[in-house]
Amino acid sequence: MTVYSYSRINTYFTCPAQFQYRYILKLPSPVAEGVELFLGSRFHETMEYLYHQVPQKVPTVNELMDFFKKHWANQYQTAVEKQKQKGFDSPLRIVNESQTVEDYFQKGQLYLENYYHQYHPFDQDKTEAIEMKVVFDLDSQKQYRMQGFIDRLGRDDEGVLWIHDYKTSSRKISEEDVKSEDQLALYQIGLSQHPRYGAKEVIKHIWHFVAFEKDQVVGERNAKEIEWLKQKYISKIKAIEKAKDYPTKTSPLCGWCEFLSLCADGQASVENKKRIKEEKAAAQNPGPARKEKAPEVVSAEQTIESTPATAPTANEPALKARRRKAPFVSQDQLSLF
Ligand code: SF4
């Protein structure tokens, strides 16, 4: 029996072709690890270190930073070695051309510093588990099983169990979106079936979108919603198990897909997106030649000589420079950006 994870199910519904490459054909990634994933892993390791230390002694912010730097350097070295062995273009894959590995390293430091000062001395709840594996059934016949990892489980003074999850992405869900974010609610099922916890626990969910100054988004699901969630995921698994073909489903995420080099549809979509973006930028920032563009209907007074040249690529270097300076993060993100 296949034990499903939230990301495995999500991959199928995001793009069946990607699901096939990753889970059916089990193809090794033809490209290096993405820098976003690398940053996320280093952040999680540092949080793990922090909350393991807290019961004995709260580390200083410098100690936390040192841990992050050391682990970043060690893992980067591993990525360099992997690059040599596998012949990747670079140790880490960066899709956003305006960013460097150093930029991501600095973001990681900033996220940590912000988190540290926001939650110090880390006594909002008492840690019960870190990187806790939960395995659970969606049905009483135990035909549909899932598993996942809780980043941190804490219990507050009122006895509420909090499922914490850290996200380093530059997208933050809104309070309204919480009801459609299922990952932590699925882990709630895991806790309710866990011998140490059980169905009587009051459980809440807390996402930390650490790229944002106000990082927390909180949610919860009642018993009825949890039952409905189980049915929803049973239906999803049934659909996956019934699938006979795995069509491509292009989206803005194609640019980040590790299998892009194998996927003609994905490549066409990325190219198309790039072209639309360039055209939009050109329309919003017309150069001097563009400003003088002749009207569509040439009046009787106008002469052929007065019609300016409108070479579409004349402003390309300036446009590229403008794109490089485009803000990476949204308004309410940390002021450094
Ligand atoms: S590149 Fe896009 S369409 Fe192709 S497999 Fe990846 S996600 Fe799917």
pLDDT average, residue stretch 229-253: 98
Residue 333: pLDDT over 60: no
Q: Which amino acid is at 42?
A: R
Using CA atoms, how far apart are residues 284 and 281, in angstroms rounded to an integer? 5
The residues lining ligand 1, judged by C-beta closer than 6 Å to any ligand atom, are 15, 17-18, 248-250, 253-254, 257, 259-260, 263, 265-266
Residue 58: pLDDT over 70: yes
Which of 68-72, 241-245, 273-277 has the lowest average pLDDT? Answer: 273-277
* Residue 117: other Cβ atoms inside 10 A: 9
Which of 104-113, 203-212, 278-287 has the lowest average pLDDT? Answer: 278-287
Assign 57 to helix, strand or coil. coil
Alpha-carbon distances, residue 72 vs 86, 151, 166, 242, 315 (angstroms): 21, 19, 18, 42, 39
- Mutating to test ligand 1, I would choose from 95, 250, 269 the residue with most ligand atoms within 8 A of its C-beta, which is 250
Confidence of residue 82 (pLDDT cuts 50, 70, 90): very high
Confidence of residue 53 (pLDDT cuts 50, 70, 90): very high
The model's pLDDT over 176-195, given as tens digits with 9 standing for 90+, comes to 889 999 999 999 999 999 99
Could you identify the atom of ligand 1 that is nearest to the CA of residue 257? 6
Higher pLDDT: 192 or 328? It is 192
Q: Work out the mean pLDDT of the chain and round it to a whole number.
A: 87
Percent of the chain with pLDDT over 90: 80
Could you identify the atom of ligand 1 that is nearest to the CA of residue 253? 7
* Residue 11: other Cβ atoms inside 10 A: 18
Confidence of residue 165 (pLDDT cuts 50, 70, 90): very high
Using CA atoms, how far apart are residues 1 and 237, in angstroms rounded to an integer? 12
* Residue 180: other Cβ atoms inside 10 A: 7
Residue 298: pLDDT over 90: no
Could you identify the atom of ligand 1 that is nearest to the CA of residue 259? 6
- Mutating to test ligand 1, I would choose from 23, 254, 258 the residue with most ligand atoms within 8 A of its C-beta, which is 254
Segments making up each domain of the chain, as ranges: 31-123
- Mutual orientation of helices 101-119 and 35-53 as an angle, nearest 10°? 30
pLDDT attached to residue 329 = 33
Phi, psi (degrees; rounded to nearest 5) at 147: -145, 160
Residue located nearest, by CA, to atom 2 of ligand 1 = 254
